Amino acid sequence: MSDADLLLISPLFPPARGGLADHTKLLAQKLAPTHQIQVLTEPGADSEFCYRLLPFERWHRRAEILEAIRASKAKTILWQYVPHMYGRGGVNFTIPNTLRSLAGEKRQIVLAHEVAAPLSPLPHRAFYAWSHRLQWQVIARHADAICLSTEAWLAHWNKKNSVAASKSVLLPSPSNIPVEAVASDHRLEWRRRCRWPDETRVILYFGSISPPKQFPWVLDAWRAARAKAPTALIVIGEKIDLEVSAEERRFLTLHSYLSSSDVSRAMQAADLVTLPFVDGASERRGSFMAALSHGAAVVTTIGEASGPSLRKSDAFAAVTSDRPDLFTAKVLELLDDAPHRDGLGARARATYERTYDWPHVINRLEALIAS
């Protein structure tokens, strides 16, 4: 074990569901071979032999947070940071003030998966957004290192903050879905089990159903594809009621939560994974990273959250995030072009393994912990 014991702080941890909870658990597991890991998190979290859980739930009590952190005797703290984890509307000045209190006493590394909500003319949302920005100013000033999970944010949030820029790095959020081994006839067997014709093309959507995910784009593309040939749609992440015809329902499967192994098998049965983010694909999108890691042919969007590397990547197909017509056209084009899909999938897997996989993330974190 290393002498550099670590305290990982995150209110979200399994059995809580969601990408950040899973990311925190995997992070603890990946760091455990070289560090003594403790996790400060909500009571009732899953425990394993490779890390020690410290139950905590008073995230607005600075004295109690400081007491718990100091009692851990950890030399380095990894803060998982998304404003909404720590308070209603993401407003909790206790967290940045705790970093301020520990400055110089502990090495503090902030893993920021979100920084602030967009500015809004609505009073309550404007209050949240400005509070997030004030919180971030304090965090950026007192953290020893800042890991931003999106390349586009490095320029955006550090543009007028030279202090933060000097200690900020890109740290992508790798896939939380391990690739499950499947049989060579997996795709055909999946279609037969669903009672779909063998030649059915399959589109998959993975993630919550919310305005930023632009799920109606996926429905429109699926219906356009069905007009040309038998095409099924798999939706994973949130079960919803859709107004569909009896014939459409034959080719539609809706799932809420699935195990990671079931998600992996479904992804490997699909011809296309469709992810039309309103802000564009980014390194923090777990569903996008999962698709790349599985070697899937992905159709997504490019927007304000897409940094230079993703904008020039050939590992996926993308349209601008305000053009649903082009999104549908791209889906139809790829469904008709198996060699193109295969090429995209191969480049997706190679890009993920070369750039975004867990070993790269852990190596970068180890360097920050040691510096």
pLDDT, tens digit, for every residue of 266-284? Answer: 999 999 999 999 999 999 9
Tens digit of each residue's pLDDT (9 = 90 or more) over 119-176: 999 999 999 999 999 999 999 999 999 999 999 999 888 887 888 888 999 999 999 9
Rounded Cα distance, 12 and 15, in Å: 9
Position 55, amino acid: P
Q: What is the pLDDT of residue 32?
A: 94
Rounded Cα distance, 215 and 235, in Å: 10
- Specify the range with the lowest mean pLDDT, choosing from 16-25, 98-107, 225-234, 334-343: 16-25
Q: What is the pLDDT of residue 2?
A: 43
Q: For the sheet with 6-9, list strands across it.
A: 51-55, 37-41, 6-9, 76-81, 107-112, 145-148, 168-170
More confident residue, 155 or 105: 105
Q: Are 172 and 149 in contact (CB under 8 A)?
A: yes
What is the DSSP code (8-state) at residue 203?
E
Rounded Cα distance, 219 and 231, in Å: 11
Burial of 359: CB neighbours in 10 Å, binned 0-12, 13-18, 19+: exposed
Q: In this structure, are strands 76-81 and 168-170 parallel, antiparallel, or unpaired? A: unpaired
Tens digit of each residue's pLDDT (9 = 90 or more) over 19-68: 999 999 999 999 999 999 999 999 999 888 889 999 999 999 999 999 99
- Residue identified by tokens 């400055």 is 103
Q: Residue 227 — left, alpha, or beta (φ > 0 → left; ψ -120 to 50 → alpha)?
A: alpha
Could you give phi then psi for residue 11, rounded to 5 degrees? Answer: -60, -25
Rounded Cα distance, 256 and 279, in Å: 24
Closest to 8 in 3D by CA, of 365, 370, 371, 359? 365
pTM of the model: 0.93
Tens digit of each residue's pLDDT (9 = 90 or more) over 192-217: 999 999 999 999 999 988 889 999 99
Domains annotated for the chain, with CATH where assigned, are 6-171 (3.40.50.2000), 186-355 (3.40.50.2000)
Q: Are 269 and 190 in contact (CB under 8 A)?
A: yes
Rounded Cα distance, 87 and 90, in Å: 5
